[in-house]
Amino acid sequence: MKRTRRLFTLTLSCALLLTLVVSWGASASAPTDGPWVNGSLLPAQMVRYDSEVSGGKMYVLGFRLPTGETDGSVWVYDPVADSWGDTGVDMPVPVSNYHIAKLTDSNGVGLYIFGGRDSAGLCTDTVQVFYPGTNTTATVATDPWNGQVNPGERVFPGAVEVVGNKAYAWGGFCGGTTAPFTGSETWIFDPMAAGGARWTAGPALPMNGAYQTGAVLDGKVYSIGGDTFDGTSLFPYADVLMLDSANLGAGWQAKASLPLPSSGSPGCDESRAFGFDSSSGWALAGKVVLAGCGQWNATNTALPDSFLYDAAGNSWTTFAALIQARRNHAGAFIVAPDGLSGKMWVGGGYIPGAVNTGTDTTETYTISFSAPTAVGLDDFSARGSDMTLALVGGGLLLGLALAMLKRRPVAPRA
């Protein structure tokens, strides 16, 4: 009878322990992906700007206000404290309509800007860089931005992306005075090359365009949508192109076009996209998210429509729409401190309404991290599945307890 009670007590204790361990495992698992949720407000209604993450913090290198002024102040966002702060540093040449290229040069990690639209409304060829590690800026006078539409007619890049510590900049626009108005050039910037030799020409686009949305997936650069210009108005298009950084000789290749957005008019411009490499371990591995859809010509329309590209199938599907319709917004991917999730972040930009209506709102979409294990499962976190570890660990505890009880000597009956 005593042995039976001991067996019951040990079994119950192990069962309770197993329940506690399993509960801990469930609570420690990666968060559920999505939906878009509202984030902290920006310090101002920032439009026509970009953001980039370095050292766990996100930086903004100036912006335009909806009223037209250009502000060159550098702001930093701390995702842990969920707070914005002014770094006290201004870019040498305040610009809007820029893209940030995160590159490593002889000074360390630098956030580069190639050209842009200055406070006078003119396009500049200045290459400038902000170094987060030292909170300093510099200009690269030896290697100004090369992009132009016609000889001597400078443009700001349509999009900029980084592969293998080289920046790819293509297309462009600057108001347009002479046909073809928008750019077709591709330029490649190597921050480790000698001064005066950092730019090389890449393959030309098959068509002129501006305000494309860029993304990188598996070493390939994607140019998503964009605008043409007829001398008066910009018109969005749905074309998607891909440039393989390992095979530049193949040039820009046509891929599946964007789906028709909710407006009923084809094309998206002035948006942000996020690429997740196939081997990255992120839940959206092998895919690109286009977050938002601008359509400048349609009375300054901004759409909340978002789309998902599957590289393996070369196909687009709809994705969760943004909470706020916006265009000319910034975007960055922020990884959580534990590395088990990340957030697609978008903020600011123009919203539907009167001309040049801006917003200081932001929103994020959580993406979980799931690294494959030795048994081929693809839904485990980087730490392995906490639930699986709990079940295995609890089962071992229970088995050990029963084995010990079985080996315990039993006194003979009188």
pLDDT at 38 exceeding the cut of 90? yes
Q: Lowest mean pLDDT of 238-242, 294-298, 361-365, name the range.
A: 294-298
Q: What is the pTM of this model?
A: 0.83
SS3 9: helix
**Per-residue three-class SS string for 242-311:** EEECCCHHHCCEEECCCCCCCCCCCCCECCEEEEECCCCCECCCCEEEEEEEEECCCCCEEEEEEEEEEC
pLDDT of residue 386: 37
Q: What CATH class has 37-368? A: mainly beta
Q: What is the mean pLDDT of the chain?
A: 86
Which H helix or E strand runs over 214? strand 213-217
The predicted model gives 150-175 an average pLDDT of 96
Q: Which of the four pLDDT bands, split at 50, 70 and 90, describes residue 378?
A: very low
Domain ranges of the chain: 2-29+385-407, 37-368
User: What residue has token string 């309509």?
Assistant: 97
pLDDT of residue 28: 40
The predicted model gives 72-77 an average pLDDT of 98
d(CA 284, CA 274): 10
The residue ranking higher by pLDDT, 318 or 5, is 318
Which residues on adjacent β-strands are paired with residue 163? 166
SS3 360: coil
Q: Lowest mean pLDDT of 28-42, 143-157, 208-222, name the range.
A: 28-42
Q: Which of the four pLDDT bands, split at 50, 70 and 90, describes residue 296?
A: confident
Per 3-state DSSP, the chain is made up of helix, strand and coil in percentages (nearest 5) of 15, 40, 45
Q: What is the CA radius of gyration of the chain?
A: 26
